[in-house]
Amino acid sequence: MYVCICNGVTDRDIRQAAESGCRGMTELTMRTGAGASCGSCIEMATSILDETAAQLQPVPLEMLSVAA
Ligand code: FES
């Protein structure tokens, strides 16, 4: 779905940015243009970015030793 109508940025674009290391709205704006115009998408874009980044957190070492 389109998150940023002004700049044609989708939720998929935001997730891809997060997967490639983007961790903040300023960086997301530089990479995709999201939020660079009216700004009404910033809250949703930030939410998608944060949710995706949280899912990408590395597994703690303690968890790896339990799984082995
Ligand atoms: S909807 Fe994203 S800047 Fe306007």
Query: In total, how many domains does the chain have?
Result: 1
Q: Which residues line ligand 1 (CB under 6 A)?
A: 4-7, 34-41
Q: How many CB atoms lie within 10 A of CB 5?
A: 11
Separation between Cα atoms, residue 27 and residue 60, nearest integer Å: 26
- What spacing in Å lies between the alpha carbon of 57 and ligand 1's midpoint? 28
Instruction: Name the residue range of residue 13's domain.
Output: 2-67
Out of 5, 28, 29, mutate this one to test ligand 1's pocket (max ligand atoms within 8 Å of CB): namely 5
Local structure of 9: helix, strand or coil: strand
**Mean pLDDT over each residue of the chain, to the nearest integer:** 92
52 Cα: distance to centroid of ligand 1 (angstroms)? 20
Q: pTM, whole model, 2 decimals?
A: 0.83
pLDDT digits (tens, 9 = 90+) for 5-33: 999 999 999 999 999 999 999 999 999 99
CATH code of the domain containing 42: 1.10.10.1100
